[in-house]
């Protein structure tokens, strides 16, 4: 009987140690699982961020090339310069860039409108309507660049008819946002505009 009493505590201690080991193993397993899942989540977020960055960089290159390569006609009797047609790739780039990199978007969009106005002045000493089918309002499908520039400048209401949208809209915007003159291509065309304006005032 005494032997049984001695054995019973030993069994209880052994069972307790076994249970504690199971708990310890369970805690380790849970900790490893949480660590693994956290790492997978972090890796997924980093991958998404990298994809967004790549999309933004690609969009910037597409829109930058579009703006830099736009060359409106400046010769008299060659027709009045118009805004360039906007390919789907550029539309997609705009939709990404205006949120991912609004400063670069503003800079290159403004460059397009500054180029257009300087071409109008050099050619014909005046500004022109820039929409394709005035005097309607602003049609995002027909005039995406005008729509986006007005969305940037907030010059005209979107829900009302607009009689005339002058090509000088880009120049007016730069004059009230002088930091854009830090971008050399914009400054170059502003200088051209002001040179022609001076000649017009002098009657030359």
What was the pLDDT predicted at 54? 74
Q: Note whether 117 and 80 are within 8 A (CB).
A: no
Q: What is the pLDDT of residues 73-122, one digit of tens each?
A: 998 888 899 999 999 999 999 999 999 999 999 999 999 999 999 999 99
Q: 186 with 114: CB under 8 angstroms?
A: yes
Q: Which of 103, 57, 109 lies closest to 84 in space, CA to CA?
A: 109
14 in a structural domain: no
In tens, the pLDDT along 69-84 reads 999 999 888 889 999 9
Round to whole Å and give the CA distance between 18 and 36.
Answer: 27
Number of domains within the chain: 1
What pLDDT, on a 0 to 100 scale, did the predictor assign at position 77?
Answer: 81
Residue 86 lies in a domain: yes
Q: Quick check: 62 and 90 in contact, CB under 8 A?
A: yes
Residue 134 belongs to domain spanning: 29-201
């Amino acid at each position: 009987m005494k032997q049984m009493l001695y054995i019973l505590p030993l069994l209880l201690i052994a069972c307790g140690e076994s249970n504690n080991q199971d708990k310890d193993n369970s805690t380790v397993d849970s900790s490893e699982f949480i660590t693994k899942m956290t790492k997978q989540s972090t890796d997924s977020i980093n991958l998404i961020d990298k994809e967004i960055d790549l999309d933004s960089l690609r969009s910037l290159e597409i829109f930058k090339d579009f703006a830099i390569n736009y060359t409106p006609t400046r010769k008299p009797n060659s027709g009045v310069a118009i805004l360039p047609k906007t390919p789907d790739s550029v539309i997609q780039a705009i939709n990404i860039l205006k949120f991912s990199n609004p400063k670069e978007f503003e800079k290159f969009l403004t460059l397009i409108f500054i180029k257009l106005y300087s071409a109008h002045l050099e050619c014909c000493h005046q500004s022109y309507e820039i929409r394709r089918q005035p005097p309607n309002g602003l049609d995002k499908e027909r005039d995406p660049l005008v729509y986006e520039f007005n969305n940037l400048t907030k010059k005209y209401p979107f829900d009302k008819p607009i009689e005339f949208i002058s090509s000088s809209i880009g120049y007016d915007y730069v004059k009230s946002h002088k930091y854009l003159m830090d971008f050399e291509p914009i400054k170059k065309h502003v200088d051209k505009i002001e040179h022609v304006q001076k000649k017009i005032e002098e009657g030359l």
